[in-house]
A and B are shown apart, each in its own frame.
Chain A
Amino acid sequence: MIIGDLSRQEFQELLAGKGLGIQFGPFNLRIRSNLKSFAALAYQLYEPYPLLTAAVISDFHVDMNSPPGLRRWLRPQACFAIDGHSPFAPYTVEHAFPALEWGINWCVATRAHHLLMLHSAVVERNGQAMLFPAWPGHGKSTLCTALVHSGWRLLSDEFGLVRPEDGMLLPLPRLISLKNDSIDVIRHFRPEAIIGPSFQATRKGTVAHVRPPVDSIKRAQEPARPRCFVFPRWIAGAPFTLEAMPKSQAFLMVATNAFNYEVLDEIAFRLVIDMVNSCDCYSLRYSNLDEAMAALDELSRSFDA
C-alpha cells in the first residue's frame, strides 16, 4: 500500500491518532500530529510513499504538535519531538511542514550510525551513481532536482548513505528541499514538477519541497554503486568548468563533509578511501543549469563507453 491509497480523512485520522507509518528508503517512521494545517500538504507530497501497517517496527517516532497551554490560541506554534523529546525551539505553526522535514533529516543524521552518512546529493543512471557533496548554497539541490526530472534516478538530495558491508549507496528519496532563488529556477525549468508552496522567512530562508519522481520512490530499496564524485558550486555569472580533482583533495572534501566520519572512525576512513579510489572526481563550476546538465549527461555516457 502507498499513502495515496488512504482517503484524506483516513490520512488525517492516522496522523492525529496512532500515527502514520511511512517508509523512507531504509527507515520506517511513525508520524503523529494534532495540526490540521499541514495535513493537506503532507497528503499531497507523501502520496507515492509506502504506507506501513501498525505492526511494523518504526525506527523513529516523531511528533509535530502544538504545545499545550495558552500558546495554542494566542500565537500558535508547532513543536517537533522524537520519542517525546523536543530538540528544537518551537516553530511558528505556519512552518510546521518544513520543520517536520528538517526534523526527520535530523533524526537520520544523528542516529543512523550503522551507515556512513555523506552530506551529498546522489543520483543514478544505468546502475552508476553520481554523488554531489557540497556545502549549503553551492547548488547541490538545484542540480539534483533538475537531473531527477531529466531521466536520472534520485537516491537522495541530502544523504549519501553508504552501507559499510559492501560500499553500496542506499536510496533515501525524500522530498527535496529547495531554498530561495532555486525554487523559481526549478519552477521554470520543469513546470510539471510537483512542488509544494513556498514557506517564507523560515529559519533557512524561503523553502519549498519537491516531490521526487515516482520511479525513484518505487525503487527506494535498490542500491547503487558509486561511480563519480562531482563537487558542484553555483556562482552567478561564472563560466562553466568541469575539471578533474586530485583524489587527496576529494577525500578531504568528502570526509570533512560527512555527518558521522568521526563516529565511524576506521570504518569511515576505509569506506571513503575505497569510494574515492573507485570513483572519478571532478570539480564543477556553473551558472547555467542547462550547460551543467549537458556536461553531466556526457560524463555519464563516457562511463557506459
Chain B
Amino acid sequence: MMLVSAGRRLLWQEWDDHYLVFQASSAETHVFNETTALILRCLEEGPRSVAEVKAWTEVALDAAPGELGADEFDFATRRLEELGLIEYLDETVATQ
C-alpha cells in the first residue's frame, strides 16, 4: 500500500510545535501536531510506501526506528485522508 499527496495546494505556517495548514481547495485551515505535519511534508515530496513514510517521519522526529507508535501513525494518516490531503493507493496504481 502506498501513500500519496492529494496534490492540494497548501500554505504552511509553523509556530513552536503547531503547524497551521491552509488547504486552498477547501478553503479550510487545519492545525496539526508535528507528527501529522511531517507525514504531510513527506508526501509532498512524492508517493511512498506506508513503511517508508513511517520511517521518514521517525527520522524527522529524531525518534528511534519503531518508536513512533503504529496507532499514532495510523490515526494521523487516516485523519489526513479524511481531510482529502492524502490518499491510500495500491502500489501498482501509485507507480503508474
Within 8 Å of chain B (Cβ to Cβ): is A46? no
Within 8 Å of chain A (Cβ to Cβ): is B88? no
The docked-state distance in angstroms from the alpha carbon of A255 to that of B15 is 15
Within 8 Å of chain A (Cβ to Cβ): is B20? yes
Within 8 A of A (CB), among B16-61: 16, 18, 20, 22, 24, 27, 29, 31
Q: How far is the CB of A270 from chain B (nearest CB, A)?
A: 7
B27/A251 in contact, CB under 8 A: no
Within 8 Å of chain B (Cβ to Cβ): is A247? yes
How many residues in A have their beta carbons less than 8 Å from beta carbons of B?
Answer: 12
The docked-state distance in angstroms from the alpha carbon of A255 to that of B20 is 12
The docked-state distance in angstroms from the alpha carbon of A248 to that of B22 is 13
Question: What residues on B are CB-neighbors of A262 within 8 Å?
Answer: 27
A248/B16 in contact, CB under 8 A: yes
Question: What residues on B are CB-neighbors of A189 within 8 Å?
Answer: none
Tell me the nearest residue of chain A to B26, going by C-beta. Answer: A265
Within 8 Å of chain A (Cβ to Cβ): is B92? no
A247/B15 in contact, CB under 8 A: yes
Q: How far is the CB of B25 from chain A (nearest CB, A)?
A: 10
A246/B16 in contact, CB under 8 A: yes
Within 8 Å of chain A (Cβ to Cβ): is B11? yes
The docked-state distance in angstroms from the alpha carbon of A199 to that of B51 is 67
B18/A265 in contact, CB under 8 A: no
Q: How far is the CB of A232 from chain B (nearest CB, A)?
A: 22
Question: What residues on A are CB-neighbors of B16 within 8 Å?
Answer: 246-248
Within 8 Å of chain B (Cβ to Cβ): is A273? yes
The docked-state distance in angstroms from the alpha carbon of A211 to that of B91 is 68
When A248-B15, A248-B16 are in contact, do A266 and B22 touch as well, CB less than 8 Å?
yes
Main secondary structure of the interface of B (DSSP, over half): strand
Within 8 Å of chain B (Cβ to Cβ): is A269? yes
The docked-state distance in angstroms from the alpha carbon of A273 to that of B31 is 13
Tell me the nearest residue of chain A to B24, going by C-beta. Answer: A266
Within 8 Å of chain A (Cβ to Cβ): is B96? no
Question: What residues on A are CB-neighbors of B29 within 8 Å?
Answer: 255, 269
When A246-B15, A247-B15, A248-B15 are in contact, do A273 and B20 touch as well, CB less than 8 Å?
yes
B22/A251 in contact, CB under 8 A: no
Partner of B11, one of A251, A252, A266: A266
A273/B24 in contact, CB under 8 A: no
Contact with B along A265-302 (1 / 0, CB 8 A): 11001100100000000000000000000000000000
When A248-B20, A252-B31, A262-B27 are in contact, do A270 and B15 touch as well, CB less than 8 Å?
no
Question: What residues on B are CB-neighbors of A269 within 8 Å?
Answer: 11, 22, 29
Contact with B along A253-266 (1 / 0, CB 8 A): 00100000010011
Within 8 Å of chain A (Cβ to Cβ): is B13? yes
Tell me the nearest residue of chain A to B11, going by C-beta. Answer: A269
Question: What residues on A are CB-neighbors of B20 within 8 Å?
Answer: 248, 251, 273
The docked-state distance in angstroms from the alpha carbon of A262 to that of B28 is 8
The docked-state distance in angstroms from the alpha carbon of A102 to that of B16 is 40
Tell me the nearest residue of chain B to A274, going by C-beta. Answer: B13
Most chain B CB atoms below 10 A, which of A255, A262, A273? A273
A270/B18 in contact, CB under 8 A: no
Residues in A lying within 8 Å of B, measured CB to CB: 246-248, 251-252, 255, 262, 265-266, 269-270, 273
Residues in B lying within 8 Å of A, measured CB to CB: 11, 13, 15-16, 18, 20, 22, 24, 27, 29, 31
Can you list 22 residue pairs at the A/B interface with Cβ under 8 Å?
Answer: A246-B15, A246-B18, A247-B15, A247-B16, A248-B15, A248-B16, A248-B20, A248-B31, A251-B13, A251-B20, A252-B31, A255-B29, A262-B27, A265-B22, A266-B11, A266-B22, A266-B24, A269-B11, A269-B22, A269-B29, A270-B11, A273-B13
